[in-house]
Amino acid sequence: MVKYLHSMIRVSDPDATVAFFKLIGLEEVRRFEVEAGRFTLIFLAAPGQEGLAEVELTYNWPPADGSASEEYNGGRNFGHLAYRVDDIYETCRRLMDAGHTIHRPPRDGHMAFVKSPDGISVELLQEGNLPPQEPWASMENSGSW
């Protein structure tokens, strides 16, 4: 038997990343502070998806000796995370209002891409289909996604 548990992404600012995923609709379901290993694990899930499909945020604390923290450049080989949303236009509006760039706007009322604070590409897919709406229908892509 095989059961999917979670995907893990490394983050440099856990508070900013949790706030980003809350805008999409995910909730923090548990958190572990590991003093001995100097890291924090934060698990997020969509409502009702705890234990079924989670994202693990791993935050490696800055070195105790004061040296520079690890930097995460991200690799395109990772691809993206994907979430189905009830209203893609409202979700994208919340993200934009919070200062995030919609790299691939939901011109078709079905699909959009945005990036987390650490540059992880996140695909948003509309539950069902919405008719194209402005300003989304006329928006151009921005950067890579």
Active site residues: 123
CA distance 83 to 32: 24
Which residues, in sequence order, are bridge partners of residue 60?
Answer: 39
Using alpha carbons, select from 72, 11, 74 the residue that is nearest to residue 39.
Answer: 11
> Kind of pairing, strands 102-104 and 111-115?
antiparallel
The answer to whether 85 touches 124, Cβ cutoff 8 Å, is yes
Using alpha carbons, select from 96, 2, 116, 127 the residue that is nearest to residue 55.
Answer: 116
Report CA 107 to chain centroid distance, whole Å.
Answer: 20
CA angle (144 as vertex; 43, 53 as ends), nearest 5 = 20
